[in-house]
């Protein structure tokens, strides 16, 4: 997955925290054996302000994902994901914002298809990098028409089964 280096970040203040880049990955599932298919996005805009603490940095940090930039390392699959999944319901962007920080769990408000849900994500902090993971259910975002469309487009390869749960991961790098 391509790293998205961010330009235009605020100047670093002494002892402050500043976000420097972010990666987002997903794992969707196909076939009755629930085989995972990984991917990510090449166009992610990071919105963050410098803060005096890591919690301060995390709270309010958000991203905007351009769904047309999906990258599963398979151009044919990417084209199908854009046309037969995201475009079916007109989902051009996905928004995510960290709204709560606990010792081991971030709460991330994810907006997709006009619906915003708070998703708990377990996280770790090592070497100036936050790594978080969680799961969404496409039905919760009203995305079942898109799920049906991608299942139809990939019916043979998916053996008639495309799962509605999707694992999410993100890595947020920062400096202090």
Mean pLDDT confidence for 43-54: 95
Domains, the chain, ordered by start: 20-175 (2.40.128.110)
> Across the chain, what does the average pLDDT equal?
92
Mean pLDDT confidence for 2-28: 65
> How far is the C-alpha of 89 from the C-alpha of 17, rounded, in Å?
38
Given a cut of 50, whether residue 59 has pLDDT beyond it is yes
Given a cut of 70, whether residue 26 has pLDDT beyond it is yes
- Beta strand 62-66 pairing with 93-101: antiparallel
Q: What is the pLDDT of residue 176?
A: 87
Mean pLDDT confidence for 150-161: 97
Given a cut of 80, whether residue 12 has pLDDT beyond it is no
Given a cut of 70, whether residue 86 has pLDDT beyond it is yes
Q: What is the pLDDT of residue 91?
A: 98
By percentage, how much of the chain surpasses pLDDT 90?
Answer: 90
Q: What is the pLDDT of residue 3?
A: 42
Concatenated DSSP letters for 79-91?
HHHIIIIIGGGT-
Given a cut of 50, whether residue 29 has pLDDT beyond it is yes
> How far is the C-alpha of 139 from the C-alpha of 158, rounded, in Å?
19
Q: What is the pLDDT of residue 16?
A: 79
Q: Phi-psi region for residue 8, left (φ > 0), alpha (ψ -120 to 50) or beta?
A: left
Exposure of 100 by Cβ count < 10 A (0-12 exposed, 13-18 middle, 19+ buried)?
Answer: middle
pLDDT digits (tens, 9 = 90+) for 101-136: 999 999 999 999 999 999 999 999 999 999 999 999
Given a cut of 60, whether residue 170 has pLDDT beyond it is yes
| Predicted confidence band of residue 44 (pLDDT cuts 50, 70, 90) | very high
Given a cut of 70, whether residue 38 has pLDDT beyond it is yes
Q: What is the pLDDT of residue 2?
A: 40
CB environment 142-153: b (16+ within 10 A), e (fewer): ebeebbebbbeb
Residue 12 or 31, more confident: 31
> What tokens were used for 88?
């079916």
Strand intervals (E) in the chain: 4-5, 18-30, 35-41, 44-47, 62-66, 70-71, 93-101, 105-112, 115-126, 129-137, 165-175
């Amino acid at each position: 997955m391509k790293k998205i280096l961010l330009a235009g970040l605020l100047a670093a203040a002494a002892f402050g925290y500043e976000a420097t880049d972010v990666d987002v990955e997903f794992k969707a599932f196909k076939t009755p054996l629930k085989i995972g298919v990984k991917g990510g996005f090449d166009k992610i805009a990071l919105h963050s302000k410098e803060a005096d603490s890591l919690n301060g940095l995390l709270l309010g940090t958000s991203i905007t994902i351009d769904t047309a930039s999906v990258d599963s390392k398979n151009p044919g699959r990417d084209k199908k994901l854009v046309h037969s999944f995201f475009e079916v319901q007109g989902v051009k962007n996905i928004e995510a914002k960290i709204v709560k920080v606990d010792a081991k769990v971030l709460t991330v408000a994810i907006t997709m298809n006009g619906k915003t849900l708070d998703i708990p994500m377990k996280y770790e902090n090592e070497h100036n990098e936050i790594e978080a993971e969680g799961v969404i259910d496409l039905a919760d975002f009203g995305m079942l028409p898109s799920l049906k469309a991608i299942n139809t487009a990939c019916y043979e390869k998916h053996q008639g089964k495309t799962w509605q749960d999707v694992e999410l991961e993100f890595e947020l790098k920062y400096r202090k």
